[in-house]
Chain A
Amino acid sequence: MSTVWSGPALAEAIEAFAPGSVESSAGIDVWLKPESISAVCEGLKTRAEFKFDLLSSLTAVDYIDHFEVVYHLTSLPMNATAVLKSRVGIGRTDASIASVVSIWRGADYQEREVWDLMGIRFEGHPNHKRIMLWEGFPGHPLRKDYVTYDQSIVSTIPDATGGDK
């Protein structure tokens, strides 16, 4: 059975080699400061006590007032998993975080997908382009404020939200 790193334990272990990089921790999650993501990931991959050599999943969630980038890490030698999170784009300003492609190549398409659909920029990505949608597509569809085609039609009909007519 694989072991799951608890958030506080992982936060403590990260603070030991990268002081000041953890924002908070709870449950199985650790929230990192966005500027320290490269240093922490490099440490988690190479240091003997972690050996997180496989990036399972990289995704992002739109929480209206900020975005959260979520990393699920797996260590094959230790058979362990961990969850890293990082809040970016606070106040829906320009959202960006350092790319981890130089650490795990598996992040390549996943970061492009997050940029394409969620609009979070990954600084230092070698091929920072859209992946599913075409270049020039307006907006990033997985954002909560994205207006879908159906919604855009409904919004042109007067009193579509219900009136007495």
Chain B
Amino acid sequence: MAIKTQPVTVNLGPQHPSTHGVFRMRVMFDGEEIVDVEPVFGYLHRGSEKLAEERTYTQIVTLTDRMDYVSSMLNNQAYILAVEKLAGIEPSPRGVWLRMIAAELQRIASHLVATGFLIQDLGALGTPLIYAMREREGILDLFEMLCGARITNSYLRPGGVFMDAPDEFWPALDRGLDDIVRTIDELETYLSGNEIIFSRTKGTAVLPPELLINASITGPMLRASGVDWDLRHRAPYDYYDKISFERKLHTASDNYARYWVRIQESRESVKIIKQCIEQIEPGSVRPSFDDVPRLIRPPVGDAYAAIEGSKGELGFYLVSDGGIAPYRMHVRASSLINLTLLRDMLIGGQFGDLFVTFGSIDLNMGEVDR
């Protein structure tokens, strides 16, 4: 006998443990089936773009930390690249290698957080998340050695980084990389072939690659649909043209593929860091203050620089009027844009898959709302 149901609207968030911050959705569902979803943004909106207009170019680095707060180093990198492009600054080689190492460590940390919380959202309470967070903790310790800060690093400066790595950093990094590989192996042993993970993630929220491209979705989500698009490879910035790495692709474009791509990308990041360690040479980590003063006054004009962030293309658009603060700063936030297809992913699916799909997008509310 069919049970008669009628659509019910439920408000999810902004205070909900699975919304990865303060995200809110108005979800209408009929029985177990999702009929309609309306995302509501803005609970973490701090007006970063407006704040940037009254800060100097170096001060803004601290604002970028607080956008996507699980990948601060990558935000720093994208912003600094935009400043260097705008002001025509030639970075110091050692500074560039150091910020590449920092950025790749941060990418691993971000992917570990994404994976840990995805599995947490699947209902595996605690254990996988703790494994992932334990490893992220090791990466944060490395950041502490590099710059004294763990989350909001503000490590990068126009032209490089603000201080050289201490001597004890390099052996710690070697040990850390081994630990990372071991943790990823461990996670994969438990998760990648796990029957429960398969049944919950395979075939859910499938998106065709053409639709993803049309909706400006980049990063692991795009690569999980089989599109070979990685800015580190297609438009190399910093010294990524001196690095060889594989782009891991999956063709299923479902929640499992997105999980799998992140895990494999973490392995590739370890390889990139090893190549950076081989190629780094002694020298100064940033140009002298005669070449790049503390108060930068870029010429009038604009510049857009984008990097392959942990969540997709992360771009900064800066406009200068010749003053010490940008006239306008815009952030191309991959977390916000990756949500464009949220309705397509959820509608018609099961209510239980909602947070799994949401976790597989890997968004960060600090970046969505800015």
Secondary structure dominating the interface of B: mixed
| A72 contacts the other chain (CB 8 A) | yes
Q: In whole angstroms, how far apart are the Cα atoms of A105 and B369 in the complex?
A: 19
Evaluate contact between A79 and B234: CB separation under 8 angstroms. yes
- Given contacts A104-B214, A106-B215, A109-B336, are A132 and B235 in contact (CB under 8 A)? no
- Given contacts A72-B304, A110-B337, are A55 and B49 in contact (CB under 8 A)? no
Q: In whole angstroms, how far apart are the Cα atoms of A164 and B77 in the complex?
A: 47
- Given contacts A1-B235, A2-B235, A79-B235, are A141 and B50 in contact (CB under 8 A)? yes
Q: In whole angstroms, how far apart are the Cα atoms of A61 and B212 in the complex?
A: 27
Distance in angstroms from B254 CB to nearest chain A CB is 20
Evaluate contact between B229 and A76: CB separation under 8 angstroms. yes
Evaluate contact between B42 and A131: CB separation under 8 angstroms. yes
Q: Mark A62-96, 1 if CB is under 8 A from B, else 0.
A: 10000000101000100101010000000000000
Evaluate contact between A106 and B216: CB separation under 8 angstroms. yes
Q: In whole angstroms, how far apart are the Cα atoms of A81 and B41 in the complex?
A: 30
Give the residues in chain A near B229, CB-CB below 8 Å.
76
| B315 contacts the other chain (CB 8 A) | yes
Give the residues in chain A near B304, CB-CB below 8 Å.
56-57, 72, 83
Distance in angstroms from B244 CB to nearest chain A CB is 15
Give the residues in chain B near A108, CB-CB below 8 Å.
215, 340
Cross-chain pair count, CB within 8 angstroms: 89
Evaluate contact between A61 and B327: CB separation under 8 angstroms. yes
How many chain B residues touch the partner (CB < 8 A)?
A: 37
Give the residues in chain B near A113, CB-CB below 8 Å.
336
| A6 contacts the other chain (CB 8 A) | no
| A42 contacts the other chain (CB 8 A) | no
Q: In whole angstroms, how far apart are the Cα atoms of A36 and B340 in the complex?
A: 25
Nearest B-chain residue to A53, judged by Cβ: B213
Distance in angstroms from A102 CB to nearest chain B CB is 11
| B308 contacts the other chain (CB 8 A) | no
Evaluate contact between B340 and A106: CB separation under 8 angstroms. yes
Q: Mark B219-234, 1 if CB is under 8 A from A, else 0.
A: 0000000010100001
Interface core residue of A57, A81, A131 (most chain B CB under 10 Å): A57
Distance in angstroms from B370 CB to nearest chain A CB is 8
Interface core residue of B47, B337, B339 (most chain A CB under 10 Å): B337
18 contacts between A and B (CB under 8 A): A2-B234, A54-B218, A55-B216, A56-B216, A56-B315, A57-B332, A59-B330, A59-B332, A72-B317, A72-B332, A76-B213, A83-B304, A105-B214, A106-B216, A107-B216, A132-B45, A134-B42, A141-B50
Can you list the 10 inter-chain pairs with the closest CB atoms, starting with the nearest? A106-B216, A2-B235, A57-B332, A59-B330, A132-B42, A132-B45, A105-B215, A61-B328, A106-B215, A53-B213
